[in-house]
Every structure is written in structure tokens, then in C-alpha cells.
Amino acid sequence: MFKQLVLLSLGFALTTVSITNAEETEDPTRQALADAWKQYSELSESGDSEASLPHAQRVYELAGKLFDETDKQLAAATLNLGENLIEVDRKDDAKEVLEIAIARYENLYGKNSPELIDPLLSMTVAHFSQWDYRENPVYRDRIYEILQNSIDRSSLEFADSVMDVAWNSIAYYPTDTIGEEMDAALAIYETEPHQDAIKAAQAHHLLANFHVNRGQYKSARQNLDTALGIYDALGNDFEADHDEVDQYSTDLRGFLKDRQPEIERLTAEYEAARAKPDGAGNLPIVRVAPYYPADALRKRKTGYVELVFTVDEQGFVIYPKVVKYTGSKSFKNAAIQATLKFRYAPRLIDDEPVAVQRVKTKITFDIR
């Protein structure tokens, strides 16, 4: 959605770099490159990552034969191969390829160029594991540095770059920084000289995703309502976009409604929980003991898992991630499943419930 409509100069790099057309040359290697690129691009656009991978590898191989290190096409072929490897969940292989892509982009454009955002963003995704927080923040921090220091913060380029980064990262890293940058980008879309109602609506939709990922449902609903209002004003040409946002809003309302009976039950225990907060001032109402993994029990392994997670506005745990563990690797999943069943009394600020980020807990596995 956002990547297709908003991104003007970034995205999959090879789509913005021309490759010699097979019809314009009799060179068999160039002909093979053009054929491989055509097959890769068609399969990639159709979403068939497994089928496109051999062609991405072929493009990379042929580009290495045809172009030297100063050629943009070689850098682009390297990036696309790395991204394709991520899509088929070969993240270790992707990291190796993307290291090369980053070095080539740095040599071509400079270490602080906006062109570096794409390979750095891909490397950030390659380092991410859904339940494991021990990722490498270096690449993500470099992206923020480029956004903050190398692009005019009042420009359309800045806004589009921020939204591209957000589109690819908020499911993994919905940090305060990217939220602030998204607000700045939205302000650009909503004011002259870059006022753009379509991009503003898309930004509100993406911000709703950001807030949901942080457990901030009130803010998410506000963004969705604003996006719907913009699409209503734009008319029938944007009916499909309107319907997509409307469905998201309906799903969110249904999700929150389904939780209501449990919230009412937990609310009755709220006052008791107030008297015994944890060390960080959060108020756990329900803590669930983990199951002991059979393999670890059989081998009499002990250990612990440290996790970090968000407590949303309703006191539910979302997005738990492992920070550290000892003993059996199977302890990680057992701890995650237990943590997802924890319930907290919502943190209140001015009598309004707020989501709390980076709440920590430690779960111990011990055979008594």
C-alpha cells in the first residue's frame, strides 16, 4: 500500500536502475542478464519469492561479470538478492549478501546518503527474530541518523523516506523515534507547500498500525477515523482505500470488544493489585507459570529467560521478546507463551490508561 503509492525513489533498487535490453545487444552475457532480470522481476512482483530466488541469484552472478564496483547495477543486484533471501527466511545468507550491498552503496553514494536507507533497512529486518530481542541496532540507528541529518526535514523527500522506513519497520521496531518521525512526515503532507490528502490518509493509516503495535488503541482509532474522513472527501476514486481502512477499523473494534469480558473480570481485581506493584511500578494481576519443556525436563536442565514486552492500554501483554536465556533453548518459547497470558492493571496517567513499553520480567525453570 504505502510502499507502492508513496515511495518515489527508494524501494527495490533494481527497479530504478536500467539494465541493457536484450534486444539492444548481441552480447550473450548481457542477453542472459536481461532474461534473468525479466524473470526475476515478474516473479518478484507476483509475490513468488521461492521461484524468484534462482533468478535473483543469476542476476547477481551475471552483474558481477559485467559490471565493476562503481556500477549502480551491481549494487542494485546485490541488494535485491539480499531482500529475496530475507523473503524466503534465509536470514543468515541475507546478512552476508547485504553486508556487501551496504559496502557497495557506501562506495557509490557516501556513508550518509539517503540511498543507504534501503540496504540498511533490509539488514535491520534480516537481524530481526519475531521473539528474540537480541538484534543489532547499529543499522537501525544509522537509518535514523540519515533521516535526521542528511535530508531536509521540511522536504517531501524526508516525509516519503520516513514512511518507507516505517512501512518496513514498525512491525519489528515501533520505537518512539520512528513515531516522532512519522508525525513530522504527516505534518508535511498536511501543510503547504507539500500538502497531499492522499499521502496524509495513507500516513494516518500507517500511524494506526504503529499505535496498534504499541498497544495504543485510542490513538489508533483516531488515526483510522481521520483517514476515513479524508477518503470520504476524496470520493469514489478512493473507495477501495476507504474500504480497507474501514475494515481495519471494524476488526480493531471487534478485537477490543472480544476482550471486554476478561477486562471486566480483571477490573474487579484491580484494587487488590494496587497494593502490590512490581519493582517498576506495574501492577500484575495474573501471572501464569510456564510449562516445563519435555526435552529439558528429561535432561534435567534448569535455567531462566529474561523478556521485554509491551503492556497495552487494556493490560494485555503484546510482542514479548527474549533478551537473555540460559539452559535449554526450548525455555524461550515456554516463557513467551506464559508471558502472553500475563495480565496487568493498566497504567493510568490523568485517569487515562496508557500503554507501557519495555516492561521486563524473568521466568525461572527449576526442577525441585
Phi-psi region at 350: left, alpha or beta (left = phi > 0; alpha = psi -120 to 50): left
Q: Which domains does the chain have, with CATH numbers?
A: 2-195 (1.25.40.10), 276-365 (3.30.2420.10)
pLDDT at residue 288, as a whole number:
76
CA pair distance 335, 362, nearest whole angstrom: 9
How many residues comprise the chain? 368
The span from the CA of 235 to the CA of 338, in Å, is: 47
Task: Give the full edge-to-edge strand order of the sheet including 317-325.
Answer: 317-325, 303-311, 356-365
User: Coil, strand or helix: which one is 37?
Assistant: helix
Torsion of CA 158, 164, 170, 174, to 10 degrees: -10
- For residue 27, give the DSSP letter: -
d(CA 255, CA 269): 22
Q: Are 317 and 344 in contact (CB under 8 A)?
A: yes
Q: What is the pLDDT of residue 23?
A: 47
Q: In this structure, what is the dihedral angle of CA atoms 78, 51, 47, 172, given to the nearest 10 degrees?
A: -60
pLDDT tens, residue order, the chain (368 aa)? 223 222 222 233 333 344 544 445 578 899 999 999 999 999 988 889 999 999 999 999 999 999 999 899 999 999 999 999 999 989 899 999 999 999 999 999 999 999 999 999 899 888 876 555 555 678 888 888 898 888 999 999 999 989 988 887 777 677 788 889 999 999 999 998 999 999 999 999 999 999 988 888 889 999 999 999 999 999 889 999 999 999 999 998 888 888 778 777 666 665 555 555 555 556 666 777 888 888 888 788 999 999 999 999 888 898 898 999 999 988 998 999 899 888 887 777 888 888 988 899 999 998 76
Q: What is the model's pLDDT at position 215?
A: 86
Single-letter code of the amino acid located at 239? E
Sign of CA dihedral 333, 334, 335, 338: positive
